[in-house]
Homo-oligomer: A and B are copies of this chain.
Protein backbone atom coordinates (compact mmCIF):
# COMPACT_ATOMS: atom_id res chain seq x y z
CA UNK A 1 0.00 0.00 0.00
CA UNK A 2 1.69 3.14 -1.16
CA UNK A 3 1.68 5.85 1.47
CA UNK A 4 1.18 9.14 -0.22
CA UNK A 5 -0.12 12.58 0.55
CA UNK A 6 -3.30 14.33 -0.39
CA UNK A 7 -2.69 16.64 -3.33
CA UNK A 8 -5.11 19.10 -1.86
CA UNK A 9 -4.25 19.36 1.82
CA UNK A 10 -1.19 17.21 2.38
CA UNK A 11 -2.78 14.77 4.79
CA UNK A 12 -1.96 11.11 4.52
CA UNK A 13 -3.65 9.56 1.55
CA UNK A 14 -3.66 6.24 -0.19
CA UNK A 15 -6.30 6.31 -2.84
CA UNK A 16 -7.39 8.08 -5.92
CA UNK A 17 -10.60 10.03 -5.57
CA UNK A 18 -12.12 11.77 -8.54
CA UNK A 19 -8.88 11.17 -10.36
CA UNK A 20 -6.49 12.57 -7.78
CA UNK A 21 -4.64 11.06 -4.84
CA UNK A 22 -6.47 12.65 -1.95
CA UNK A 23 -7.53 12.14 1.62
CA UNK A 24 -11.01 11.15 2.69
CA UNK A 25 -11.87 14.55 4.07
CA UNK A 26 -11.07 16.26 0.81
CA UNK A 27 -12.94 13.58 -1.06
CA UNK A 28 -15.96 14.20 1.13
CA UNK A 29 -15.59 17.93 0.76
CA UNK A 30 -15.55 17.63 -2.99
CA UNK A 31 -18.43 15.20 -2.94
CA UNK A 32 -20.57 17.59 -0.96
CA UNK A 33 -19.84 20.41 -3.29
CA UNK A 34 -20.45 18.23 -6.26
CA UNK A 35 -23.81 17.24 -4.91
CA UNK A 36 -24.98 20.37 -3.23
CA UNK A 37 -23.06 23.34 -4.32
CA UNK A 38 -22.44 22.64 -7.94
CA UNK A 39 -25.98 21.54 -8.44
CA UNK A 40 -27.29 24.57 -6.64
CA UNK A 41 -24.82 26.75 -8.39
CA UNK A 42 -25.92 25.39 -11.72
CA UNK A 43 -29.48 26.40 -11.00
CA UNK A 44 -28.20 29.75 -9.90
CA UNK A 45 -26.45 30.40 -13.13
CA UNK A 46 -29.11 29.13 -15.36
CA UNK A 47 -30.12 32.03 -17.45
CA UNK A 48 -33.63 32.54 -18.53
CA UNK A 49 -33.87 35.32 -21.00
CA UNK A 50 -37.35 36.18 -19.92
CA UNK A 51 -36.94 36.12 -16.15
CA UNK A 52 -34.59 38.06 -13.94
CA UNK A 53 -32.21 36.10 -11.80
CA UNK A 54 -33.58 35.99 -8.31
CA UNK A 55 -31.30 35.08 -5.48
CA UNK A 56 -33.00 33.67 -2.46
CA UNK A 57 -31.46 33.25 0.94
CA UNK A 58 -29.89 29.91 0.17
CA UNK A 59 -28.42 31.21 -3.05
CA UNK A 60 -26.80 34.11 -1.28
CA UNK A 61 -25.40 31.83 1.38
CA UNK A 62 -23.78 29.73 -1.28
CA UNK A 63 -22.38 32.73 -3.10
CA UNK A 64 -20.77 33.82 0.10
CA UNK A 65 -19.46 30.35 0.80
CA UNK A 66 -17.70 29.71 -2.47
CA UNK A 67 -15.94 33.03 -2.39
CA UNK A 68 -12.67 33.53 -0.64
CA UNK A 69 -12.85 36.30 1.92
CA UNK A 70 -9.08 36.78 1.94
CA UNK A 71 -7.05 37.22 -1.21
CA UNK A 72 -8.00 34.16 -3.20
CA UNK A 73 -4.72 32.42 -2.58
CA UNK A 74 -5.17 30.82 0.83
CA UNK A 75 -2.68 28.08 1.55
CA UNK A 76 -4.50 24.80 1.99
CA UNK A 77 -3.01 22.36 4.42
CA UNK A 78 -4.29 19.91 6.97
CA UNK A 79 -4.87 22.70 9.47
CA UNK A 80 -6.12 25.46 7.22
CA UNK A 81 -8.28 23.39 4.90
CA UNK A 82 -11.41 24.19 6.91
CA UNK A 83 -10.88 27.96 6.82
CA UNK A 84 -11.64 28.76 3.21
CA UNK A 85 -14.06 26.71 1.17
CA UNK A 86 -13.44 28.79 -1.92
CA UNK A 87 -9.72 28.17 -2.04
CA UNK A 88 -10.09 24.55 -1.02
CA UNK A 89 -12.54 23.94 -3.82
CA UNK A 90 -10.34 25.85 -6.21
CA UNK A 91 -7.39 23.67 -5.24
CA UNK A 92 -9.47 20.54 -5.72
CA UNK A 93 -10.13 21.65 -9.26
CA UNK A 94 -6.56 22.85 -9.80
CA UNK A 95 -5.04 19.51 -8.86
CA UNK A 96 -7.37 17.89 -11.32
CA UNK A 97 -10.38 16.55 -9.48
CA UNK A 98 -13.11 15.82 -11.96
CA UNK A 99 -16.76 15.48 -11.41
CA UNK A 100 -17.50 11.86 -11.94
CA UNK A 101 -21.00 12.66 -13.00
CA UNK A 102 -19.90 15.21 -15.51
CA UNK A 103 -21.70 13.44 -18.30
CA UNK A 104 -24.84 13.23 -16.23
CA UNK A 105 -24.58 16.90 -15.49
CA UNK A 106 -24.23 17.67 -19.14
CA UNK A 107 -27.19 15.49 -19.92
CA UNK A 108 -29.27 17.42 -17.48
CA UNK A 109 -28.01 20.64 -18.93
CA UNK A 110 -29.08 19.47 -22.36
CA UNK A 111 -32.51 18.67 -21.07
CA UNK A 112 -32.81 22.11 -19.51
CA UNK A 113 -31.60 23.73 -22.68
CA UNK A 114 -34.26 21.94 -24.67
CA UNK A 115 -37.09 22.33 -22.23
CA UNK A 116 -36.50 25.72 -20.75
CA UNK A 117 -34.20 27.41 -23.14
CA UNK A 118 -31.71 27.78 -20.35
CA UNK A 119 -28.04 28.04 -20.98
CA UNK A 120 -25.24 26.96 -18.75
CA UNK A 121 -21.89 25.31 -19.03
CA UNK A 122 -20.02 23.49 -16.34
CA UNK A 123 -16.84 25.25 -17.30
CA UNK A 124 -18.52 28.53 -16.58
CA UNK A 125 -19.34 27.36 -13.10
CA UNK A 126 -15.85 26.10 -12.47
CA UNK A 127 -14.50 29.45 -13.50
CA UNK A 128 -16.37 31.11 -10.70
CA UNK A 129 -14.39 29.01 -8.32
CA UNK A 130 -11.10 29.18 -10.16
CA UNK A 131 -10.96 32.93 -10.34
CA UNK A 132 -11.03 33.52 -6.61
CA UNK A 133 -8.11 35.85 -6.68
CA UNK A 134 -9.72 38.12 -9.20
CA UNK A 135 -12.80 38.74 -7.15
CA UNK A 136 -13.09 42.21 -5.65
CA UNK A 137 -12.78 42.54 -1.90
CA UNK A 138 -15.90 42.25 0.20
CA UNK A 139 -16.81 45.85 0.74
CA UNK A 140 -18.80 47.23 3.62
CA UNK A 141 -21.61 48.06 1.24
CA UNK A 142 -21.83 44.50 0.06
CA UNK A 143 -21.88 43.23 3.60
CA UNK A 144 -24.60 45.64 4.63
CA UNK A 145 -26.66 44.84 1.59
CA UNK A 146 -26.18 41.15 2.11
CA UNK A 147 -27.23 41.31 5.73
CA UNK A 148 -30.19 43.52 5.00
CA UNK A 149 -31.43 41.18 2.32
CA UNK A 150 -30.97 38.21 4.58
CA UNK A 151 -32.85 39.91 7.39
CA UNK A 152 -35.67 40.98 5.16
CA UNK A 153 -36.08 37.56 3.71
CA UNK A 154 -36.06 35.78 7.05
CA UNK A 155 -38.66 38.19 8.37
CA UNK A 156 -40.92 37.78 5.38
CA UNK A 157 -40.52 34.03 5.46
CA UNK A 158 -41.80 34.12 9.02
CA UNK A 159 -44.89 36.01 8.00
CA UNK A 160 -45.26 33.70 5.08
CA UNK A 161 -45.33 36.40 2.47
CA UNK A 162 -42.99 36.03 -0.41
CA UNK A 163 -40.86 39.09 -0.84
CA UNK A 164 -41.51 40.81 -4.09
CA UNK A 165 -38.93 43.24 -5.39
CA UNK A 166 -41.33 46.10 -4.84
CA UNK A 167 -41.92 45.20 -1.22
CA UNK A 168 -38.20 45.22 -0.62
CA UNK A 169 -36.82 48.36 0.89
CA UNK A 170 -34.47 48.45 -2.04
CA UNK A 171 -37.19 48.01 -4.55
CA UNK A 172 -37.61 51.58 -5.55
CA UNK A 173 -33.97 52.55 -5.52
CA UNK A 174 -31.96 49.70 -6.90
CA UNK A 175 -32.51 46.31 -8.34
CA UNK A 176 -32.17 44.08 -5.29
CA UNK A 177 -30.62 41.31 -7.29
CA UNK A 178 -27.94 42.38 -9.61
CA UNK A 179 -25.64 44.66 -7.63
CA UNK A 180 -24.85 42.02 -5.08
CA UNK A 181 -24.86 39.33 -7.68
CA UNK A 182 -22.41 41.12 -9.89
CA UNK A 183 -20.07 41.91 -7.07
CA UNK A 184 -20.15 38.42 -5.69
CA UNK A 185 -19.31 36.63 -8.83
CA UNK A 186 -16.90 39.33 -9.85
CA UNK A 187 -15.16 38.71 -13.07
CA UNK A 188 -17.45 36.02 -14.29
CA UNK A 189 -18.72 37.04 -17.65
CA UNK A 190 -22.25 35.87 -17.95
CA UNK A 191 -23.00 34.96 -21.48
CA UNK A 192 -26.58 35.62 -22.31
CA UNK A 193 -27.66 33.22 -24.99
CA UNK A 194 -28.85 34.83 -28.13
CA UNK A 195 -31.83 33.58 -30.05
CA UNK A 196 -32.22 29.90 -29.40
CA UNK A 197 -29.68 30.04 -26.67
CA UNK A 198 -27.36 27.32 -27.91
CA UNK A 199 -23.83 27.34 -29.07
Binding site for B on A (CB under 8 A): 10-12, 64, 69-70, 74, 77-80, 83-84, 138, 143, 146-147, 151
Contacts and interface: CB of A to CB of B under 8 A. Distances in A.
A70 B76 CA distance: 11
Q: How many copies altogether? A: 2
Nearest to A82: B83
Contacts of A12: 147, 151
Contacts of A11: 147
Contacts of A146: 78-79
Nearest to A12: B151
B143 A78 contact: yes
A83 B87 CA distance: 12
B69 A147 contact: no
A74 B138 CA distance: 13
Contact of A79 (B78, B80, B83, B138): B138
B10 A143 contact: yes
A142 to B, nearest CB: 9
A78 B147 CA distance: 8
A15 B116 CA distance: 49
Considering residues A10, A12, A147, which has the most beta carbons from chain B within 10 angstroms of its beta carbon? Answer: A147
Contacts of A70: 70, 74
A172 B138 CA distance: 50
Contacts of A10: 143
A70 B80 CA distance: 9
A11 B12 CA distance: 39
Contact of A80 (B69, B77, B78): B69
Contacts of A79: 64, 69, 138, 143, 146
A143 B12 CA distance: 12
A105 B91 CA distance: 44
A70 B10 CA distance: 18
Contact of A83 (B77, B83, B147, B151): B83
